[in-house]
Amino acid sequence: MVTNDLNPSHKHFRIGLKNAPAGSPWQNTGMRVLIAGATGAIGKPLLSCLDDAGHELFALVRSHKAAGMREPARAHEVIADALDAASVLEVVQHTKPDVIVNELTSLPKHYTTEEMKASAARDKELRVTGNANLLAAARAANCRCYVLQSSAFWYAPGPGLADETVSFAFDASPGIAAGCRTYAGLEAAAQESGLQAVLLRYGFFYGPGTWFSREGDVGDQVRRREVPVIGKGEGIWNWVHIEDAAAATCAALTADPGVYNVVDDQPIGQSVWLPAFAKFVGAPEPPTIAEDEALRNSGADSVYYATRLRGASNQKAKRKLAFRPRRLEWLGV
């Protein structure tokens, strides 16, 4: 359902967004943008970035004042269950967005093997069904552009950095292979929708509000020496600061349709980033364990992450999105 956020009597409605006089701070000079997944890690910086760019924002949430929702002054909060096609259609037809940004996830608070496995089915359902419902509503409402969250850290093994033409790692460990199939399906659905689909393959988010920060869950685990370097730690991780990811997403609203790797300039091996991150968060040197021990303790996916991930190239995003990522903040610490 659509809440009364669009009613002038509601405290979140900003009078005169469309008809404010020239020069007014409330004048709408941008597009109407609906963000699904606005309460996730990227939600706050994305809403702020889009707000700064002058867009009129509609944050789709499951319930009024959803936990973690921190909206900028010009964001309208609209309520719909992404798994319910009818409620999504109602919201999209009512708000009439020019662009829909799909950042839907259902990830756990704690980044552990057990919790990631426990959340996998719900996360997949939300991504797949939510994506289908948003695409159907976008077509019905003649939405122009659709921006989808995807992944840049599961490319098939090979030499050098992977560009956007490289296949996902469908032959990886079971959990990663399943994730690759999910992302491939999401991307295909968007590309075949008839909309202008922009697919953003993000690296691992780091920075405020993410798992990878001093205050984040992985920071706590590293201080407890629960995150080891596995084997030679040769898996190459692609990173992106959460605010840089938001900036790239904002730029995607006017980008050419297609796929973009939104990763920083320095894909880096686990054996390098993990000790540097430990120092950054004030932790002792992380332990090192053999691959077979890690396989027994935490499973094949953990070993794959540590030893076989492939780096990705961000050259297309730099050319087309004016993407200028910052240096990974814990390098050189």
CATH of the domain at 88: 3.40.50.720
Q: What is the sign of the dihedral through the CA atoms of 80, 81, 87 and 92? A: positive
How many residues make up the chain in this entry?
333
Residue 329 lies in a domain: no
Residue 143 lies in a domain: yes
Residue 170 lies in a domain: yes
What single letter denotes the amino acid at residue 329? E
**Residue 123's pLDDT band (cuts 50, 70, 90):** confident
What single letter denotes the amino acid at residue 149? Q
| CB contact at 8 A, 183 and 151 | yes
Asked which of 9-18, 150-159, 243-252, 266-275 is least confident by mean pLDDT, the reply is 9-18
- Residues 237-261: pLDDT tens digits? 999 999 999 999 999 999 999 999 9
Residue 85 lies in a domain: yes
The model's pTM: 0.88
Alpha-carbon gap, residue 206 to 329, rounded angstroms? 9
Number of separate domains in the chain: 1
**Residue 312's pLDDT band (cuts 50, 70, 90):** very high
User: How high is the pLDDT of residue 74?
Assistant: 65
User: How high is the pLDDT of residue 67?
Assistant: 42
The torsion of the CA quartet 232, 235, 240, 245, rounded to 10 degrees, works out to -160
Residue 269 lies in a domain: no
Name, in order, each residue with C-beta under 8 angstroms of 226's C-beta and a sequence gap of 6 or more.
Answer: none
Domain holding 180, by residue range, is 4-205+239-264+313-320
